[in-house]
């Protein structure tokens, strides 16, 4: 049977005296203590070199603990030579800080009194302790001993007495740590830089820390920064200035951390949220932007503004869309810059400015240099072709056009149509792009009103019956109960209803659905949208097909007939977008979308790897 005991160790410069509770061991160590053992204070227990005949050494090894957690560990030792028979064992351990602060150190130890539990040569013994402190360094040693006879017989000489004892080399181990406390950015802070400094508290005995930053809808699949992968391994200090090209403006990010020590990883800390606020802006205007014979002189008007605490540090102007700066400078850019184009073409001009915190912002304009420009000179491609003369150069500027399949291009007329041009058509269309015949590759575009679920007019309003001040969770996603955080499907439905001339928006539709049982009433399914109710919302008279499985051909067919399609995108929990058209790049279909959360994601390839899992489509009833 195992019994827990207490042992007290006393250190002095001249003597090392161990005072066990058991009287028999006490007598033996009184005899040992009569000799000088050590002239220095350290962690090693010294015994006299000349030991009595009745004493035998036990060879013991202290092994590394296993199953180390924040508050527990399994201590281990091994008997190499038991000195003549099975022996009892115990462990001594203590907080290393206590060794430096106290003259007397309190140990926990375990003695085996049942001989059937004693250990012999080659056997490993262990004991679990559950009274440890997190993130703490401990000193540990394994002991073994056995007494035969009565110490009184040794003094009187009336009987046999023997004592076997040994201990291993001490080891130091650390319990698992706890996560650091997040200090900055503060909860729900507005941050006006894309390279903020993150600050957290230190954790005792931590080797390093890992910082995690994720974007909506959050979770491991949406990490934008994981310091041990995206940085330089573990962070050794308690702050980090985030590198550039990680964050974007206008996004609410989530961040948390954990610590690492010799025992492994701590749990993840509580999460905080912060929003990046852009206080740097620029604008680019061009006069004229198109038309005219070559050479064409274009004057660019430039404006750049920064936050009060920052200043413009430098600027660049790319005049032909090749991502190389043709003009650049330090400080604020000049207000007007002229440039002469001598070659017909379609040019994308990009202005980029930086502030002294290395934040950047850009503006892009398109310059069309040609004899005829659509729609500046003529509203339609057909009208421009009719008016064109031999050797004219027709530039079709980015927009949306209706064409038919009977377009013919007059001889010697060059028709240059930018690939970003969207074409609406009822059946099939034949399109000439830089002289190359393309039929099925023609772009489809459907004009669908775009709403953002995070719009200031409704983004902070309660979604369904949720409390906007409480955090709700679904899978890896957790956020407050607002339309801005949970209303992606709702916002997609509002876009599609508007396409069918139903006057609504996410706030109006949310209110209508609440008043007309358009959400699940079961508490565990709060916020689940009733798609069947949407088709009659605000007096609509639509029919619903779906959910349909992934079917690219079906999706293309619906889009070609002018039907916007609501897609559930692959890889996230219940996020929805509206497919509004398609194009083909290198033989691969790319679908245009309205994303209610990410306004800059204009196609399914950007951010969603061109993947979706199911689709729904609302149609007019014939």
Alpha-carbon span 290 to 468, nearest angstrom: 49
d(Cα 194, Cα 360) in Å, to the nearest integer? 9
Instruction: Give yes or no for a contact between 171 and 77, defined as CB atoms under 8 angstroms apart.
Output: no
Q: How many CA atoms lie less than 13 Å away from 83 in the CB half-sphere?
A: 21
H-run or E-run covering 25:
helix 23-32
Tell whether 492 and 599 lie within a shared domain. Answer: yes
pLDDT attached to residue 437: 30
Task: Based on the fold, state whether residues 23 and 8 are members of the same structural domain.
Answer: yes
What is the enclosing helix (H) or strand (E) of 612? strand 612-620
For residue 79, pLDDT over 70 is answered with yes
Domain boundary among 143, 174, 205: 174
**Considering only 87-96, 115-124, 216-225, 261-270, which range has the smallest mean pLDDT?**
115-124
571-584 burial: b if 16+ Cβ within 10 Å, else e: ebebbbbbbbbbbb
Question: Considering the chain, what is the average pLDDT of its residues?
Answer: 75
* Rounded distance between C-alpha atoms, residue 578 and residue 388, angstroms: 38
Of all helices (H) and strands (E), which one includes residue 453?
A: none
Lowest mean pLDDT among 61-75, 150-164, 247-261, 495-509: 150-164
Q: Cα dist. 374→40, 285, 370, 419 in Å?
A: 95, 19, 10, 14
Final residue before a domain boundary, out of 142, 174, 206: 174
pLDDT at 352 over 80: yes
The verdict on residue 575 lying in a domain is yes
Tell me if 607 is assigned to some domain.
yes
Both structure tokens of 226: 């994981």
What ranges make up the beta strands (E) of 82-161?
Answer: 88-95, 104-112, 124-129, 137-148
Phi-psi region at 272: left, alpha or beta (left = phi > 0; alpha = psi -120 to 50): beta
User: DSSP states of 407-449 as a string?
Assistant: --PPTT-EEEE-TT-EEE-SS---EEETTEEESTT--EE----
Considering the domain architecture, whether residues 157 and 299 belong to the same structural domain is answered as: no
What share of the chain has pLDDT > 90, as a percent? Answer: 19
**Is 336 exposed, middle or buried (CB count within 10 Å of its CB: 0-12, 13-18, 19+)?**
exposed
Confidence of residue 397 (pLDDT cuts 50, 70, 90): low
Question: In CATH, what number is assigned to the domain containing residue 494?
Answer: 3.90.70.10
Say if residue 507's pLDDT is above 90. Answer: yes
User: Whole domain around residue 258: which residue ranges?
Assistant: 182-276
Q: What is the pLDDT of residue 491?
A: 95
Residue 588 has pLDDT above 90, yes or no: no
Residues 54 and 37 in one domain: yes
**Structural domain includes residue 149:** yes
C-alpha 608: how far from chain center = 16
Residues 164 and 30 in one domain: yes
Name the pLDDT band for 18 (thresholds 50, 70, 90). very low
Last residue in a domain, options 241, 276, 311: 276
Residue 429: pLDDT band with limits 50, 70, 90: very low
DSSP letter for 290, please: B
Q: Give DSSP secondary structure letters for 345-371.
A: EEEEEEEEEEETT--EEEEEEEEEESS
- Which sign does the torsion angle of CA 461, 462, 467, 473 carry? negative
Asked if 475 contacts 573 with a C-beta cutoff of 8 angstroms, the reply is yes
Residue 217, preceding peptide bond in cis (omega within 30° of 0): yes
Q: Could you tell me the pLDDT band of residue 229, with boundaries at 50, 70 and 90? A: confident
Q: Are residue 511 and residue 610 in the same domain, yes or no?
A: yes
Domain count of the fold of the chain: 5
Residues 6+ apart with CB under 8 A from 521: none
pLDDT of residue 262: 85
pLDDT digits (tens, 9 = 90+) for 45-61: 344 455 555 667 888 89
- 69, part of any domain: yes
Does 464 reside within a domain? no
Strand segments, DSSP code E, in 235-321 are 239-241, 252-261, 264-265, 272-276, 280-287, 296-306, 312-318
What pLDDT score was predicted for residue 156? 52
The reported pLDDT for the residue numbered 506 is 95
The model's pTM is 0.40
Q: State the alpha helices, DSSP H only, in 487-568.
A: 488-499, 506-515, 531-534, 552-560
Question: Residue 412 pLDDT more than 80?
Answer: no
Quote the CA–CA distance of 508 and 537 in Å, as a whole number: 10
pLDDT of residue 391: 54
- Output the six-digit token pair for 330: 């330090």
* Predicted local distance difference test score (pLDDT) of residue 362: 86
Q: Residues near 161 by Cβ (< 8 Å), separated by ≥ 6?
A: 54, 147, 148, 149, 150, 151, 153, 154
User: Distance between CA 270 and CA 276 in Å, rounded?
Assistant: 20
- The 10s digit of each residue's pLDDT in 511-557 is 999 999 898 766 555 668 899 999 999 999 999 998 898 999 899 88
* 24 pLDDT more than 80: no
Residue 533: name the closest of 484, 622, 464, 458 by CA: 464
- Same domain? For 79 and 108 the reply is yes
Q: Sorting pLDDT into bands at 50, 70 and 90, what band is 492? A: very high
Could you tell me how far CA 497 lies from the centroid of its own chain?
Answer: 34
321 and 424 within one domain: no
Candidate from 98-112, 164-178, 191-205, 498-512 with smallest mean pLDDT:
98-112
Greater confidence, 328 or 472?
Answer: 328
Domain of 362: which CATH number? Answer: 2.60.40.10
- 398 Cβ contact list (under 8 Å, min separation 6): 366, 418, 420, 421
Q: What is the pLDDT of residue 494?
A: 96
- Mean per-residue pLDDT for 482-494? 93
Rounded Cα–Cα distance for residues 510 and 129 (Å): 56
Average pLDDT over residues 144-173: 69
Same structural domain, 615 and 486: yes
User: To which residue do tokens 């009060």 refer?
Assistant: 308
Query: In the numeric block, which tokens belong to residue 173?
Result: 């181990």
Rounded to an integer, the average pLDDT of 24-39 is 35
**What's residue 615's pLDDT?**
94
Taking 3-state DSSP, the helix, strand and coil percentages for the chain, each rounded to the nearest 5, stand at: 15, 40, 45
Average pLDDT of 492-502? 92
Q: What is the largest CA-CA distance in the chain?
A: 133
Q: What is the pLDDT of residues 165-185, one digit of tens each?
A: 788 888 889 998 899 999 999
The set of long-range contacts for 331-336, using a CB threshold of 8 Å and a minimum separation of 24, is 332/304, 333/302, 333/304, 334/302, 335/301, 335/302, 335/303, 336/299, 336/300, 336/301, 336/302
- Same domain? 286 vs 272: no
Flag whether 413 is in a domain.
yes
Q: What is the pLDDT of residue 380?
A: 74
Q: Which of the given ranges, 210-214, 342-346, 566-570, has the highest pLDDT on average? A: 210-214
3-state secondary structure 299-347: EEEEEEEECCCCCEEEEEEECCCCCCCCEEEECCCCCEEEEEECCCEEE
Do 187 and 164 share a domain, yes or no? no
Contact 335, 357 (CB under 8 A): no
Highest mean pLDDT among 84-98, 205-219, 290-304: 205-219
* Tokens 């220095």 sit on residue: 40
Please indicate, yes or no, if residue 451 is contained in any of the structural domains.
no
Judge whether 578 lies within some domain: yes
> How far, CA to CA in Å, does 561 sit from each of 121, 557, 564?
84, 6, 9
What pLDDT shows up at residue 495?
95
- CA nearest to 108, candidates 79, 81, 142, 155: 142
Residues 6+ apart with CB under 8 A from 479: 216, 217, 218, 471, 472, 485, 486
Contacts of 280 (CB under 8 A, 6+ apart): 305, 306, 307, 310, 353, 355, 359, 360, 361
Query: Quick check: bond before 208 cis, omega within 30?
Result: no
Please report which helix (H) or strand (E) contains residue 263, including its range. none
Q: How far apart are CA 15 and CA 36, in angstroms?
A: 6
Terminal-residue alpha carbon distance, the chain: 86
Rg (CA), the chain: 38
Residues 257 and 115 both lie in one domain: no
């Amino acid at each position: 049977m195992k019994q827990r005991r207490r042992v007290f160790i006393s250190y002095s410069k001249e003597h090392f005296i161990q005072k066990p509770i058991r009287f028999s061991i006490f007598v033996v160590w009184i005899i040992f203590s009569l000799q000088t053992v050590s002239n220095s204070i350290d962690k090693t227990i010294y015994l006299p070199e000349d030991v009595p005949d009745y004493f035998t050494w036990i060879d013991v090894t202290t092994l590394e603990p296993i199953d180390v957690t924040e508050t527990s560990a399994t201590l281990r030792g091994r008997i190499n030579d038991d000195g003549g028979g099975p022996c009892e064992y115990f462990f001594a351990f203590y907080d290393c800080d206590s060794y430096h602060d106290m003259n007397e150190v309190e140990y926990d130890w375990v003695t085996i009194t049942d001989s059937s539990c004693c250990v012999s040569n080659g056997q490993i013994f262990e004991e679990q302790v559950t009274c440890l402190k997190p993130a703490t360094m401990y000193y540990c040693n394994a002991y073994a001993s056995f007494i035969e006879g009565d110490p009184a017989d040794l003094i009187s000489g009336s009987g046999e007495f023997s004592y076997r004892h040994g201990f291993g080399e001490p080891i130091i181990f650390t319990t698992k740590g706890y996560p650091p406390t997040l200090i900055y950015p503060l909860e729900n802070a507005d941050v006006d830089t894309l390279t903020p400094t993150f600050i957290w508290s230190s954790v005792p005995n931590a080797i390093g820390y890992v910082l995690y930053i994720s974007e909506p809808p959050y979770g491991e699949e949406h990490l934008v920064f994981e310091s041990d992968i995206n940085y330089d391994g573990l962070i050794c200090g308690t702050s980090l200035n985030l590198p550039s090209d990680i964050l974007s403006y206008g996004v609410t990010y989530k961040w948390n951390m954990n610590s690492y020590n010799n025992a492994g990883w701590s749990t993840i800390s509580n999460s905080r949220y912060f929003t990046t606020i852009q206080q740097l802006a620029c604008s680019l205007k061009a006069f004229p932007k198109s038309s005219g014979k070559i050479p064409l002189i274009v004057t660019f008007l430039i404006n750049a503004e920064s936050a009060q605490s920052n200043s413009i540090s430098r600027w660049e102007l790319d005049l032909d869309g090749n991502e190389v700066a043709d003009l650049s400078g330090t400080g604020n850019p000049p207000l007007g810059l002229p440039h002469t184009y001598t070659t017909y073409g379609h040019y994308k001009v990009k202005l980029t400015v930086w502030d002294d915190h290395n934040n950047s912002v850009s503006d892009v304009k398109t310059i069309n240099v040609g004899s005829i420009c659509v729609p500046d000179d003529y509203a339609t491609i057909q009208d421009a072709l009719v008016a064109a003369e031999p050797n004219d150069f027709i530039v079709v500027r980015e927009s949306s056009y209706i064409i038919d399949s009977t377009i013919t291009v007059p001889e010697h007329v060059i028709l240059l149509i930018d690939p970003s041009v969207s074409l609406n058509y009822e059946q099939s269309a034949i399109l000439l792009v830089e002289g190359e015949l393309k039929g099925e590759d023609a772009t489809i575009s459907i004009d669908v009103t775009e709403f953002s679920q995070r719009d200031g007019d409704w983004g902070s309003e309660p979604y369904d019956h949720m409390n906007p001040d409480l955090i709700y969770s679904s899978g890896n996603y957790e956020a407050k109960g607002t339309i801005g955080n949970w209303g992606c499907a709702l916002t997609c439905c509002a876009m599609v209803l508007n396409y069918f001339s139903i006057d609504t928006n996410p706030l109006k539709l949310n209110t209508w659905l609440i008043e007309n049982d358009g959400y699940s009433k079961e508490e565990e399914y709060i916020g689940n949208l009733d798609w069947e109710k949407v088709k009659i919302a605000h007096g609509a008279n639509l029919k619903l097909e779906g959910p349909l499985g992934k079917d690219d051909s079906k999706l293309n067919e619906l889009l070609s007939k002018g039907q916007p399609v609501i897609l559930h995108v692959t890889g996230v929990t219940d996020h929805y977008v509206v497919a509004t058209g398609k194009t083909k790049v290198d033989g691969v279909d790319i679908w245009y979308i309205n994303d209610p959360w990410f306004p800059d994601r204009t196609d399914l390839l950007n951010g969603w790897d061109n993947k979706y899992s199911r689709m729904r489509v609302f149609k007019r009833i014939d």
